[in-house]
């Protein structure tokens, strides 16, 4: 008996290790580990924060996998769907973890391969296509994919049979009985999955703070249809290029109302090309205007312009049109502008400024604050409860979303679905969740999960120091002082050079510069003049401090002061 008891105690745990996507929106990546086998779910990026100048993306930290080449244990990388917050980090990570086999739906595969083209010298990926119902054995894991409704076709939830029980990962999802360009949510299939007995449910929390049920795309389609019906002039629709189902709606509505569709924006063109190739997006022959400049050959009521830039992004199609920088399209008075999109937190001011500029050019604007012409892709509270009640999990773990969203989803489970608080796991990135049939807890140990910042071709080399320097440079600029010192006499030769950027307008600050030069000479010659051996490091520090203080006193600005002292 006692031996058995001990054996039971050392029964291995299933480890769930989120490397990104918890306590944040984006950068989704999760490990499922059992003994010597690791499953990876998704590999996304997120956008940088405001105080990270120059950073392109933030990607998951894979130190846990690269340390001691632990990645050799990876039995497969599973992707839920083709949005960049789930696949965007692929080009930065795959080569560094030994290019393990990938399992993805056709559209997800297509988007991953397109993205791969943007970065040179990538290894050839080994992708196996999967779809609703596909089953694969990967080491100790029996994986099965199931269709989930979202805003992009080919979105798959994941069911994993593991030695400690069944695990369900919902992917991003919402329930929609009347979607556009998709079959409706298959509730019967979800129910059957739940009936197999679920030990752990990991469920999308992005919409958990929002009451009610997400809007059906049928509703959106109806409202967009009304705009199409009453509009006499051109219609310009801005939306996310990744919102494939919405793009389909605009195309279909345009066809119905006798309009051709011009597409402005590289990513939107790519996605339409890709989904058309795969038969996932339908447009009649001739609907899509091939050359955007041909727009001007049609009457105003025969044209829809579909473009990127609904977030006020500086480089996107819509911004170029509004700022009159687009080669062939500009705003005409009476154009009807439809924002079929929400505003991503952080973009409010850019979108406001875009709207103002459109109004100054006498466009008519519709946006989601005025009528329901956009729905997000995430389940709200009613749907989240339904998911929990369908799966009836032993343990519940909210995933995908800010910490407040995870907490909101946890509260739904506890207060409205009768899951005991002790059976709900609200975790953070880097936590290790240990799971057995009847036991789940967060380990005291953690794995590295801090930000890895990508700028240009480099990965991870924009660390804390480089970022802090950028922040200082941005605040008050740089002030470089170059002095040539005669080795023998210790005197400064000629007047020191000053190069400064981002501090003050130099031409108008001659007096300040003159006085600064004098102080540089003073500080240096004080150090060299005493006849002692000169401590160059000390002298540089002294010049830096003296000049920094002096400039602050005069301007209340603190540029980065860099002294260069050259002995000749």
Binding site for a copy of itself (CB under 8 A): 23, 49-50, 53-54, 209, 345-346, 348-349, 352, 355-357, 359-360, 365, 369, 402-404, 407, 428, 455-458, 461-463, 465-467, 469-478, 480, 482, 484, 497, 499, 501-505, 508-509, 554-557, 560, 562, 564, 566, 568
Would you say 482 or 513 has its CB closer to a copy of itself? 482
Reduced to 3 states, what is the DSSP secondary structure of residue 467?
helix
Taking the complex as a whole, how short is the minimal distance between the CB of residue 333 and a copy of itself, in angstroms? Answer: 14
Taking the complex as a whole, how short is the minimal distance between the CB of residue 433 and a copy of itself, in angstroms? Answer: 17
Taking the complex as a whole, how short is the minimal distance between the CB of residue 508 and a copy of itself, in angstroms? Answer: 6
Would you say 196 or 360 has its CB closer to a copy of itself? 360
CA pair distance 130, 186, nearest whole angstrom = 18
Would you say 136 or 466 has its CB closer to a copy of itself? 466
Compute CA 60 distance to the chain's CA centroid, rounded to the nearest angstrom.
11
Would you say 85 or 154 has its CB closer to a copy of itself? 85
Taking the complex as a whole, how short is the minimal distance between the CB of residue 360 and a copy of itself, in angstroms? Answer: 6
Taking the complex as a whole, how short is the minimal distance between the CB of residue 372 and a copy of itself, in angstroms? Answer: 15
Q: Which two tokens stand for residue 518?
A: 């004098």
CA distances from 298 to 224, 295, 303, 462, 501 (A): 22, 6, 7, 49, 50
Catalytically active residues are 204, 378
CA pair distance 99, 93, nearest whole angstrom = 9
CA pair distance 143, 75, nearest whole angstrom = 11
Q: What ranges in 216-340 are assigned the alpha helix state H?
A: 217-230, 244-256, 266-277, 317-322
Would you say 533 or 568 has its CB closer to a copy of itself? 568
CA distances from 370 to 245, 340, 366 (A): 21, 11, 7
CA pair distance 326, 226, nearest whole angstrom = 29
Q: Which two tokens stand for residue 183?
A: 């079959």
Would you say 88 or 179 has its CB closer to a copy of itself? 88
Reduced to 3 states, what is the DSSP secondary structure of residue 366?
strand
For 460-532, list the strands marked E by DSSP: 478-485, 492-501
User: Nearest 5°: phi and psi at 136?
Assistant: -140, 140
Q: Which two tokens stand for residue 206?
A: 């992005």
Would you say 97 or 551 has its CB closer to a copy of itself? 551
Residues in the chain: 568
Taking the complex as a whole, how short is the minimal distance between the CB of residue 284 and a copy of itself, in angstroms? Answer: 36
Neighbouring C-beta atoms of residue 161, cutoff 10 Å:
16
Cα-trace Rg, the chain: 29
Orientation angle between helical segments 217-230 and 244-256, nearest 10 degrees: 40
Would you say 231 or 500 has its CB closer to a copy of itself? 500
In terms of Cα–Cα distance, which of 189, 150, 190, 191 is closest to 172? 150
- 8 A C-beta contact, residue 171 and residue 157: yes
Taking the complex as a whole, how short is the minimal distance between the CB of residue 567 and a copy of itself, in angstroms? Answer: 10
- 8 A C-beta contact, residue 418 and residue 411: no
Taking the complex as a whole, how short is the minimal distance between the CB of residue 490 and a copy of itself, in angstroms? Answer: 17
CA angle 52, 405, 421 (to 5 degrees): 135
């Amino acid at each position: 008996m006692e031996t058995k008891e001990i054996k039971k105690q050392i029964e291995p745990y299933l480890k769930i290790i989120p490397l990104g996507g918890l306590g944040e929106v984006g950068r989704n990546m999760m490990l499922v580990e059992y003994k010597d086998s690791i499953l990876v779910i998704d590999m996304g990026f997120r956008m940088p924060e405001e105080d990270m100048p120059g950073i392109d993306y933030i990607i998951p930290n894979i130190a846990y996998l690269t340390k001691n080449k632990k990645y050799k244990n990876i039995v497969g990388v599973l992707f839920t769907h083709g949005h960049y917050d789930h696949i965007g980090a692929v080009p930065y990570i795959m080569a560094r973890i030994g290019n393990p086999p990938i399992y993805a739906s056709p559209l997800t595969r297509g988007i991953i391969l397109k993205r791969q083209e943007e970065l040179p010298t990538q290894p050839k990926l080994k992708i196996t296509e999967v779809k609703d119902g596909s089953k694969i054995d990967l080491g100790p894991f029996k994986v099965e994919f199931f269709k989930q409704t979202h805003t992009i076709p080919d979105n798959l939830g994941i069911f994993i049979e593991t030695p400690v029980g069944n695990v369900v990962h919902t992917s991003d999802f919402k329930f929609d009985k009347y979607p556009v360009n998709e079959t409706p949510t298959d509730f019967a299939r979800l129910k059957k999955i739940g009936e197999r007995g679920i030990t752990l449910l990991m469920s999308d929390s992005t919409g958990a703070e929002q009451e009610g049920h997400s809007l059906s795309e049928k509703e959106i389609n109806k409202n967009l249809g009304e705009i199409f019906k009453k509009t006499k002039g051109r219609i310009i629709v801005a939306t996310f290029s990744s919102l494939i189902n919405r793009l389909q709606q605009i195309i279909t509505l345009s066809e119905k109302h006798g309009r051709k569709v011009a597409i402005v924006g590289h990513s939107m063109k790519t996605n339409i090309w890709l989904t058309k190739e795969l038969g996932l997006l339908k447009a009649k022959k001739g609907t899509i205007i091939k050359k955007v400049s041909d727009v001007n050959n049609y009457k105003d009521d025969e044209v829809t312009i579909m473009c990127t830039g609904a977030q006020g992004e500086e480089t996107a199609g819509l911004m170029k049109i509004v700022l009159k920088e687009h080669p062939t399209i500009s705003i005409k008075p009476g154009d009807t502008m439809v924002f079929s999109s929400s505003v991503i937190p952080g973009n409010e001011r850019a979108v406001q400024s875009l709207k103002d500029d459109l109004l100054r050019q006498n466009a008519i604007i519709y946006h989601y604050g005025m009528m329901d012409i956009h729905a997000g892709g995430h389940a709200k509270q009613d749907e989240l409860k339904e998911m929990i009640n369908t799966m009836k999990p032993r343990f519940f773990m909210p995933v995908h979303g800010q910490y407040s969203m995870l907490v909101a989803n946890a509260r739904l489970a506890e207060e409205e679905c009768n899951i005991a608080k002790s059976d709900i796991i609200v975790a953070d990135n880097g936590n290790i969740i240990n799971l057995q049939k009847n036991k789940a807890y967060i380990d005291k140990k953690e794995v590295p999960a801090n930000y890895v910042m990508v700028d240009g071709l480099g990965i991870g080399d924009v660390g804390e120091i480089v970022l802090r320097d950028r922040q200082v440079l941005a605040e008050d600029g740089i002030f470089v002082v170059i002095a040539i010192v005669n080795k023998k006499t210790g005197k400064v030769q000629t007047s020191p050079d000053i190069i400064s950027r981002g501090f003050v307008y130099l031409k108008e600050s001659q007096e300040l510069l003159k006085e600064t030069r004098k102080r540089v000479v003073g500080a240096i010659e004080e150090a060299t003049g005493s006849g002692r051996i000169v401590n160059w490091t000390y002298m540089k520090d002294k010049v830096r401090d003296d000049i920094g203080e002096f400039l602050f006193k005069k301007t209340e600005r603190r540029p980065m002061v860099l002294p260069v002292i050259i002995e000749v």
